[in-house]
Structure 1
């Protein structure tokens, strides 16, 4: 009887340490970190999508003849908000690419809209427009930071599920698959843009 008790006292802690060393706790923790960082990315994209109707309404009053640009922004926003990714899709490269492309198209359309506004001096000095422009700029910065944080969490998770001893628990217990990081989807995005002020230098 005493031998069984001693055996249990030895086996329970040994089993706990063994399971812990195999990623039983660390894999879900790392995956939840990825999910939380993904929620931050979605939150910032939603912030941008919420600001766009206000920007479009503000610009419409001044730039009536620029309907095609305004329409393009509105359509791009609709496409971007229709492509939804949840935590279960973070290991699907095709879905992630579709989401990234929709968000990139929206960003490009916003850039065209803001560039078009240069032709409207009254709009450029309008306080509502300046506030919205500042909010969008801030949102773009937040999106960049959120995507960077997400990529760091993905890297930590992917490394954990591929290294010993956590890879044992990752494959055997959880069937873990690598998560997909954000990547540049705009051709040439890896190169810095050339700034030309028209002075030939």
Structure 2
């Protein structure tokens, strides 16, 4: 009789552990899917940037350093994205990816501000179309980043709450990092407008 009770208890614990594992695995897959959505939008942006630079190059011959900075930042962001994809979202790769994306965003923003100084370039139909595509893609990246962070939060919450924490630790479900758009407190503060 006692053997049946022990056996029943072992079966219940095993079924519970399998259920927890399946929920954690499902949430980890959702995190990976959310990152894949970001990856699609990043690829789109990476493909648009060389076209934007080429259109601008004809007008902005005196701004070669800006164009080179954008191209260099794009290449670094592509490399960081590839590294993150192949290293299963580990902390170092995620930090390098965030830094590369932040640098690309800054250089791309400087390029767009420089475009404002060239009325002919700003009026160019191809440049307007590419600028709209970049802006649309940036918005999509922001939404995809938020969806990714929501999935990571749900996974981290589940993997860090008792009793699921026990199964998560035993089976190697590690805490996942979130994507941040900025890294310093100064960059996170809203600009002050004064009249």
Measure, in 1, the Cα distance between the counterparts of 2:47 and 2:148.
Answer: 22
The structure number with the bigger radius of gyration is 1
State the match for 1:181 in structure 2.
178
In the TM superposition, what are the counterparts of 1:100-139 in structure 2 within 5 Å? Answer: 100-139=98-137
More helix by share: 2
* Aligned residue pairs, count: 188
Q: 1:40 aligns with which of 7, 31, 37?
A: 37
Give ranges in structure 2 of 5+ residues lacking alignment: none
Moved more, 80-89 or 40-49: 80-89
Measure, in 2, the Cα distance between the counterparts of 1:187 and 1:43.
Answer: 29
In the TM superposition, what are the counterparts of 1:1-201 in structure 2 within 5 Å? Answer: 14=12, 17-21=15-19, 23-83=20-80, 84-86=83-85, 88-90=87-89, 92-172=90-170, 174-183=171-180, 184-195=182-193, 201=195
Task: Check whether the contact 2:87–2:93 (CA below 8 A) recurs between aligned residues.
Answer: no
Cα offset, 1:33, TM superposition: 0.6
Measure, in 2, the Cα distance between the counterparts of 1:35 and 1:186.
Answer: 26
Cα offset, 1:127, TM superposition: 1.0
Measure, in 1, the Cα distance between the counterparts of 2:123 and 2:52.
Answer: 14
Give ranges in structure 1 of 5+ residues lacking alignment: none
Cα offset, 1:157, TM superposition: 0.4
CA gap 1:113/1:143 in 2 versus in 1, 3 angstroms: same
Q: Normalising to structure 2: TM-score of the pair?
A: 0.87
Cα offset, 1:73, TM superposition: 0.7
